Amino acid sequence: MRIPILDLKPATAELRADLDAACRRVLDSGHFLLGPELEAFEREYAASTGAAHCVGVANGLEAMQLVLLAWGVGPGDEVIVPSNGYIATWLAASQVGATIVPCEPDPRTYNLDPSRLAALVSPRTKVILPIHLYGQAADIEAINLVARPRGIKVLEDGAQSHGARQGGRQCGNLGDAAGISFYPSKNLGALADGGAVLTNDAGLADRSRHLRNYGSKVRYQNEYAGLNSRLSELQAAFLRVKLVHLAAWNARRVALARRYREALAGIDGLTLPWVPAWAEPVWHLFVVRTARRDALRDFLTNRGIGSQVHYPIPPHLSGAYRHLGWKAGRFPLAEALAQEVLSLPIGPHHTAAEIDEVAHAVRDFFGQA
């Protein structure tokens, strides 16, 4: 691909000297798990989000799973999740034994539609677990209005929304807790797997901290049945380097997204991302929608332009949830999105000229150059 959807090499190149220094620091320290780099990263990342506590863990899936475990969510409890989006959100709930209750998205934002929640909650609903999909905040204020009076917790899937905001407050600090992923391609990505729990609840932070380390407070005294889900010193040190650049890199994404929106405005048959007035997205992905999605993707591929479908199979139709017996047609909005969305190249190291070239190719495809 001449224009890949995302290339991680320039990001590493830009920070190479600092990453090398971070690596040397960890190698020289002889400390590889649960050490000073992790503590420093947890402090710095929490401060950058406004949340009181950060607990570094092994990945985003386990970050969400640990919060659910810490809240005692399990068999017999219901967790409301988006019907569209990535399967990790569903897996976090089903792997603690909870029952999945899918909620269809707002057809404009593709984020969980709060107006559908009242019909989905039951006395067994323990948690609502929205994704800030593609880097744009779900309407947590509206979700909180349903959750708070009923004693339901709100867990944010913040894997795609590092630095995004709703009404001035950061994603990851809008609900009761957030699960964050530092998978390498995320806006804040480690150089391997990584994740974090964010919360303002000291008790939850404490419990998550023990649960990520076999449920142990004092070595070899296991209070709870935990996981092994630690964020390594090396990855914490790399993340400290990258955190310094997160805001600037997000700003580059915002500028490129604006460029796309101007260049692609008014194309018949193409739906651009819709941003509510209160949202400040960080454009983890730039997702367009068209009934001619597969043909557009082929057209771009032929021009050396990368693209991706996030995500081609909604969780309820994937093999992992076949046993639930949900058939095609059960969640029509999620299914339509799976057929029609396409992610165009966007990342902090794409150039304006590259974005112009992609936009030009899209216009050509629709015959509206």
Ligand X SMILES: *Cc1c(COP(=O)(O)O)cnc(C)c1O
Q: In this complex, which beta carbon is closest to ligand X, that of residue 259 or of residue 314?
A: 314
Nearer to ligand X, 87 or 270 (CB): 87
User: What ranges make up the beta strands (E) of 58-98?
Assistant: 78-82
Q: Tell me the torsion sign for CA atoms 321, 326, 328, 333.
A: negative
* Separation of alpha carbons 195 and 172, rounded Å: 12
Taking the C-alpha atoms of residue 79 and residue 203, their distance in angstroms, rounded to an integer, is 21
In degrees and rounded to multiples of 5, residue 196 shows phi and psi of -160, 150
SS3 149: helix
* CA R_g for the chain: 21
Q: Which of 67, 68, 98, 159 binds ligand X (CB under 6 A)?
A: 159
By beta-carbon proximity to ligand X, the closer residue of 86 and 260 is 86
What tokens does 77 get? Answer: 């409890």
Report the nearest approach of ligand X to the CB of residue 86 (Å): 4
State the minimum distance, in angstroms, from the CB of residue 182 to ligand X: 7
Of 112, 131, 237, 243, which lies in the binding site for ligand X, with binding defined by CB under 6 A?
131
Instruction: Output 159 or 188, the one with its CB closest to ligand X.
Output: 159
- Least distance from C-beta 89 to ligand X, angstroms? 5
State which residue, 59 or 125, has the beta carbon closest to ligand X. Answer: 59
53: its two tokens: 């506590």
For the four alpha carbons of 166, 169, 172 and 174, in that order, the dihedral sign comes to: negative
Sequence-distant (6+) residues with CB within 8 A of 229 are: 57, 58, 59, 62, 63, 66, 195, 211, 212, 213
Per-residue binding string, ligand X, 61-100, x by CB under 6 A, is: x-----------------------xx-xx-----------
What are 321's two structure tokens?
Answer: 């949830």
Nearer to ligand X by Cβ, of 172 and 195: the residue is 195
Nearer to ligand X, 133 or 296 (CB): 133
> Does residue 287 bind ligand X (CB under 6 A)?
no
Nearest approach, Cβ of residue 159 and ligand X (Å): 3
* Residue number of the CB atom closest to ligand X: 60
CB of 193 to ligand X, least distance (A): 6
**Spatial CA neighbour of 242 closest among 167, 168, 185:** 185
**Smallest distance, ligand X to C-beta of residue 183, A:** 4
Smallest gap from Cβ 201 to ligand X, in A, equals 21
**Of 45, 90, 183, 238, the one binding ligand X by CB under 6 A:** 183
Q: Whole-number minimum distance, CB 310 to ligand X, in Å? A: 8
DSSP 31-46: --BSSHHHHHHHHHHH
Residue 110 burial (10 A CB sphere; 0-12, 13-18, 19+): buried
Told to check if 160 binds ligand X by CB under 6 A, we report yes
Note the residues at the interface with ligand X (CB under 6 A).
59-61, 85-86, 88-89, 131, 157, 159-160, 181, 183, 193, 195
